[in-house]
Structure 1
Amino acid sequence: MTQALVVGGTRFVGRHTVTELRDHGYDVTIFNRGDHENPFADTDVEHVQGDRTDDGDLAAAARAVDPDLVIDCVAYHPREVRTATRIFDDAAAYVYVSSGAAYGEEAIPKREGETALCECTDEQATDDSTASYGPRKAEGDRAVFDAAAEGCNAMSVRPCNIYGPHDYTGRVDYWIERVSEHDRVLVPGDGTNVWHRVYVEDVARALRIVAEDGEPGEAYNVGDRRATTLDELVEGVATVLGESVEIVHAGPRELATGEIDPGEFPLYRDYPHLVSTAKLAGLGWDSTPHEAALAATVDQYLESDRDGSEYGPARADEERVLGVLDTL
């Protein structure tokens, strides 16, 4: 396989995937609408403009590029996966970027082929809400499995919460901003919450490895080798920044004094979310050490014009909670 097509390719996962593929000798073309700045505009990466939700545009891209390998970073509805697997049914590999949110059963850890996926109604399949995200990704996985059964070399990769340079979601930005700007950081619960995260460069490497060595019809989880608690994330950010902060824990009753719901905090989840990565490791994949991944994430945030203060609870509400806790 030498010619790769990345559907998406300019923002976050796609951007790192393009770099990963180029670093391993692939000729890469990106296919997207061109709504965002193209970081590869001055390189040999080709750009085909079009809307991946338009079947004609996607088919035209397939004819123009004739890819050996397709990485689909922006398939958010199952219909898009079914269309893509039909259009690219003769590619050596089609890899769908799914999500750990596709799992509908709470288990520790979540394992491919063992932990049940979300069900997806017809209404959810066409919805754009956050609530339907997991069901839509799960139905996309099932579309991959069906396509593989019909002879398409289709596979799925399920990342958990992705972080790293150029992350536009603001989930980690919030915690970097709090540590960099404040001496006291409010953390919901007791700080031992675990919502498995994964470094974006490791996701890109997983996509390439699965495309090269994965089995059609299979799904592969991807997450950091070492899962960290929310307290450990805050402490890790403080270490990178060279800051000393006080972590202050607050339960639902204390948070209610600031009219804050625990779920407002980025990367907080009441029940632990942990995925097994043994299946992917069996293909030779490994993850970047957490300290190095977090350092690269923080460094790029500091170089950017992003401001994590726009995410999570308002600082004024947090200060109200901190004030109440000081009186206890």
Structure 2
Amino acid sequence: MPRLLLFGGSWFLGRAVVASALETGWEVTIFRRGRAESGQDPDGVRVVHGDYADPRDLVRLAETGPFDAVVDNLAFTPRETLAAARALEPVTQRYVVVSSVSAYADWPWRPLTEESAVLECEPDAGPDPGYDGEPAPTTYGFGKAGCERAVLQTFGTSRSVVLRPGVILGPGEYVGRTAWWLARMRRGGRVLAPGHPDRVIQPIDVRDVAAFALRAPAGAFNVTAPGTETMGDFLTACTRFAPAPAGTDLVWVPDDFLLEQNLRQWTELPLWRTYAGAWRVDSARAREAGLTTRPIMTTVKDTAAWLASGRKLVASDRAAELGISSAKESEIIEEFEESLGTR
């Protein structure tokens, strides 16, 4: 039975990795702080408590090895990831670091492949490296780039796996993008739909990222949906599975008009982003290596069912940033229709 060590098993992606690993016959160890809430950890999972930033705890963790793979879902501060990688290198065959498309220097301005330049960050950098631009680069992206280098420096290219997901959705999503749109559809009425229904988007289901993390070969991989589905597909799914009351009407308002209203991209209308590279990430290499992705309709359906079961979103500052007020939404729709002379 292969042995997996997971950093960060209690959060969104971590939980999906645990579920996928148990389904496919892995022996799972989770390393995290604190004590589990009742029912948080599945049966058959070993939990080692400690601090990712404490070298003594990492030495103690390494003594519980060996491991066939480590999936590092806590990689944010390069020097901490470097210490973790060094502690585990003697007892680990493969190190999977969960990075982000934010690690690219051209994100979100230009289309991306794995050959695109990555932000410059030293593998031993401390917290909040680099700087925050608008909308990019970000200290988050610099940190992810440094964490990638920390793992590659320690494990080499033949034993390192770098995953660069874009937007991850699905059951358990703590940011709450899908939850916001589902709640908006349940209110019904005239819904402000951003941009154009044919705009391609690339969110990926958390379960598909988790499954790929366990079987990905060495290398760097963009991990997104293939770009065959649209914002219209997503909002249609939200309307269906909310479910929206009869008479709910999507009012599509062009990007230029929304930008003139100083609407905040990404947050006031979740998933709305106009930059040329935001939804043009090439993940062909990952698909060739075994990545499979489910339709956005399935992701929305399962997320709606998860929420309907009484599950609650994890408290998150990012979730609190989402959404547009009803008054502002109505005002924008009215002004747009007046500009067309339809009112």
Please state which band the TM-score falls in when normalised by the shorter chain: 0.7 to 0.9
Q: 1:182 to 1:118 in 2, by over 3 A?
A: farther
The answer to whether the Cα contact below 8 Å between 2:122 and 2:146 also exists between their aligned partners in 1 is no
C-alpha distance in 2 between matches for 1:208 and 1:298? 26
**Equivalent residue for 1:208, pick from 197, 214, 218:** 214
Once the two structures are superposed, residues 158-214 of structure 1 have per-residue CA deviations (whole angstroms, 9 ceiling, x without a partner) of 11100000111112221111112222221333344444211000000110011xxx1
**Equivalent residue for 2:274, pick from 259, 270, 276:** 270
Q: 1:87 to 1:152 in 2, by over 3 A?
A: farther
Match of 1:327, SS state, is helix
AA in 1 matched with 2:330: E
Shift of 1:134: 1.3
C-alpha distance in 2 between matches for 1:203 and 1:65? 25
Q: 1:320 to 1:17 in 2, by over 3 A?
A: same
AA in 1 matched with 2:336: L
AA in 2 matched with 1:234: L
Q: 1:256 to 1:23 in 2, by over 3 A?
A: closer
**Equivalent residue for 2:143, pick from 123, 130, 136:** 136
AA in 2 matched with 1:298: A
Show the counterpart of 2:55.
55
List aligned pairs for 1:15-94, cutoff 5 A.
15-34=15-34, 37=37, 39-41=39-41, 43-90=43-90, 91-94=92-95
Show the counterpart of 2:322.
311
Shift of 1:35: 6.1
Shift of 1:257: 8.3
Shift of 1:293: 2.3
AA in 1 matched with 2:150: A
Show the counterpart of 1:95.
96
Unpaired segments ≥5 residues, structure 2: 133-137
C-alpha distance in 2 between matches for 1:309 and 1:61? 35
Show the counterpart of 2:154.
147
C-alpha distance in 2 between matches for 1:92 and 1:183? 55
The answer to which of 296-305 and 165-174 deviates more is: 296-305
Show the counterpart of 2:304.
298
The answer to which of 276-285 and 21-30 deviates more is: 276-285
C-alpha distance in 2 between matches for 1:176 and 1:280? 30
Show the counterpart of 1:324.
335
List aligned pairs for 1:1-12, cutoff 5 A.
2-12=2-12
TM-score (norm 2): 0.83
Q: 1:31 to 1:121 in 2, by over 3 A?
A: closer
Task: Indicate whether 1:225 and 2:226 are aligned.
Answer: yes
Once the two structures are superposed, residues 12-70 of structure 1 have per-residue CA deviations (whole angstroms, 9 ceiling, x without a partner) of 10001011111111111111113663645351111111111222212211213432221
Task: Indicate whether 1:105 and 2:106 are aligned.
Answer: yes
The answer to whether the Cα contact below 8 Å between 1:198 and 1:224 also exists between their aligned partners in 2 is yes
Considering fraction of residues, name the structure with more helix. Answer: 1
Instruction: Give % identity.
Output: 29
Shift of 1:229: 2.7
AA in 2 matched with 1:225: P
The answer to which of 250-259 and 221-230 deviates more is: 250-259
Unpaired segments ≥5 residues, structure 1: none
**Equivalent residue for 1:247, pick from 243, 246, 250:** 250
Q: 1:125 to 1:323 in 2, by over 3 A?
A: farther
Q: 1:23 to 1:253 in 2, by over 3 A?
A: closer
C-alpha distance in 2 between matches for 1:205 and 1:122? 27
AA in 2 matched with 1:267: L
C-alpha distance in 2 between matches for 1:51 and 1:232? 42
Match of 1:9, SS state, is coil
Q: 1:51 to 1:316 in 2, by over 3 A?
A: farther
The answer to whether the Cα contact below 8 Å between 2:21 and 2:214 also exists between their aligned partners in 1 is yes
C-alpha distance in 1 between matches for 2:75 and 2:162? 12
AA in 2 matched with 1:146: Q
Q: 1:99 to 1:262 in 2, by over 3 A?
A: closer
The answer to whether the Cα contact below 8 Å between 2:85 and 2:154 also exists between their aligned partners in 1 is yes
The answer to whether the Cα contact below 8 Å between 2:201 and 2:227 also exists between their aligned partners in 1 is no
C-alpha distance in 2 between matches for 1:51 and 1:196? 34
C-alpha distance in 1 between matches for 2:172 and 2:37? 12
Match of 1:15, SS state, is helix
C-alpha distance in 2 between matches for 1:300 and 1:94? 31
Aligned residues: 321
Match of 1:92, SS state, is strand
Match of 2:102, SS state, is helix
TM-score (norm 1): 0.86
RMSD: 2.9
